[in-house]
Structure 1
């Protein structure tokens, strides 16, 4: 078994008695890196690796430990929601090498890559709705799954706080959310020490401030920002429904309506989950 230190391909780690060989890095963030891995039986999985040594990251050790514990707690809470939440296989903290691991199901494609492919297909099509980044039908199909994801989070009292294209993956036709490292309980109440963080501009403004409580309305902002990405192929850098510079505003009145409602800096002015669930864009065939 590999010791702590620099993580490289072909290193092997034991997680709850089973060896996983890291093959290639899929991504990394503030709290850890994610790797394609293979078990001794030849099965593939995604393994998230947390370096919990004192010199392992610029992020404070207690924050990295909390991220590991928090992700396990949230994934275990929603372990039966296999259609919308990534499935966790197992996890382990190894104090001898100061590393922790979470083994999960391995995705087929990221939302980012799927949207790039859909964009190329859209450009080749003979359809007349080539004003937006992907077709209206493809956008709506993804949007409906996004709404189902935040309805699931809300049902379990989870605020993700970092919903973004990089944290949404396709497993066959199913879109699932990953990375619950900074997620929080919806009903914990407000305190001045609330967890702060996320990814601008996909995370809501209040995630970066200790002046406004972080509630489930934070995820409402995020799905609006993701819909913006699906529509324009770019991040909402102005944190409004305004189209990117040099890009025409979408002709979809339904998309405009959602963007204008969700991308409100004041959380109290954003709609609730049921408003999104009952919106015509969420209920086929409401495309325009």
Structure 2
């Protein structure tokens, strides 16, 4: 273990495990507080893509910090074999844990989506697309404040590079233009957030199949429907926002800033004058 890390932090219990490493709770004697540390074994990075993700994530977190709804990085340590990324500690459940347990009220869903899109908008203002927005990558701190994490698939789109390529993301949440192989822009994050909003309010994903291939085909068709049984109590305003986030035509799809200005978000999921065309 890196001597500098051992000097500054005491490793406690394991709180998570991923493809390349383990997340531990750790204690800083200097700060007299607990943090999280992701310990990554660099020997498990099998190709250049893995190594690029490893190098990219801490850089992006440093650029984006501090922001209330993005996991904050505090320290970075490296040895010949390992990398340790120290971040704030979030021990509450993930959004994935929460959506498997219940259907959200509109006010609950609006609270989540407003915080999530605030984080997304912050990324986009800095020329960064997350590209893997999903409930598993959304944490909550001790005050129930949302924290977007895992920027391993993130990409810069600022400067001369205004578009991106590459199939990244997760079934159910990936945007159709990503699967099509075309160039795409940062609005892929808005699409993914729209899928999350749909699931929170309806309890099911908007596009799915019996397997990954069928799910991808459904995403590519992007035939958005609101089944009556699942959405009978959902307001016209909420459905209006979902349509604008899950618009297959990227030029007409809302930006993160437009989502934040939508009446349903501004009103916190309360009754809004938006009418339902269906």
Q: Common fold, TM-score beyond 0.5? A: yes
CA change 1:244–1:69 in 2 (3 A) is farther
Q: Does 1:260 align with 2:230?
A: no
1:276 is matched with: 259
1:24 is matched with: 14
The unaligned stretches of length 5 or more in structure 2 are 209-217, 272-278
Equivalent residues of 1:34, 1:46 under 8 A apart: no
Q: Does 1:113 align with 2:97?
A: yes
Q: Does 1:50 align with 2:50?
A: no
Number of residue equivalences? 252
CA change 1:44–1:255 in 2 (3 A) is same
* SS of equivalent to 1:269: coil
Q: C-alpha displacement at 1:114, in angstroms?
A: 4.0
Q: C-alpha displacement at 1:88, in angstroms?
A: 0.5
Q: Given the alignment, which residue of 41, 54, 62 partners 1:76?
A: 62
Name the CA distance, whole Å, in 1 between partners of 2:124 and 2:176.
Answer: 19
The unaligned stretches of length 5 or more in structure 1 are 3-12, 120-132
Question: Which runs of structure 2 are paired with 1:154-233 in the superposition (5 Å)?
Answer: 154-171=124-141, 172-187=143-158, 188-190=161-163, 194-209=165-180, 211-233=181-203
Name the CA distance, whole Å, in 2 between partners of 1:227 and 1:198.
Answer: 17
1:6 is matched with: none
1:5 is matched with: none
Name the CA distance, whole Å, in 2 between partners of 1:244 and 1:62.
Answer: 44
* SS of equivalent to 1:100: strand
Name the CA distance, whole Å, in 1 between partners of 2:61 and 2:69.
Answer: 11
Name the CA distance, whole Å, in 1 between partners of 2:147 and 2:106.
Answer: 21
Q: TM-score, normalised by structure 2?
A: 0.79
The one-character-per-residue Cα deviations of 1:179-210 (angstroms, maximum 9, x if unpaired) are: 1111111222346xx3431112212233345x
Name the CA distance, whole Å, in 2 between partners of 1:103 and 1:281.
Answer: 36
Q: Does 1:37 align with 2:25?
A: yes
Q: C-alpha displacement at 1:94, in angstroms?
A: 1.6
Name the CA distance, whole Å, in 2 between partners of 1:275 and 1:179.
Answer: 24
Equivalent residues of 1:14, 1:20 under 8 A apart: no
Q: Does 1:99 align with 2:82?
A: yes
Name the CA distance, whole Å, in 2 between partners of 1:244 and 1:34.
Answer: 40
Equivalent residues of 2:201, 2:234 under 8 A apart: no
* SS of equivalent to 1:268: coil
The one-character-per-residue Cα deviations of 1:222-255 (angstroms, maximum 9, x if unpaired) are: 1101101211233332444324797345531112
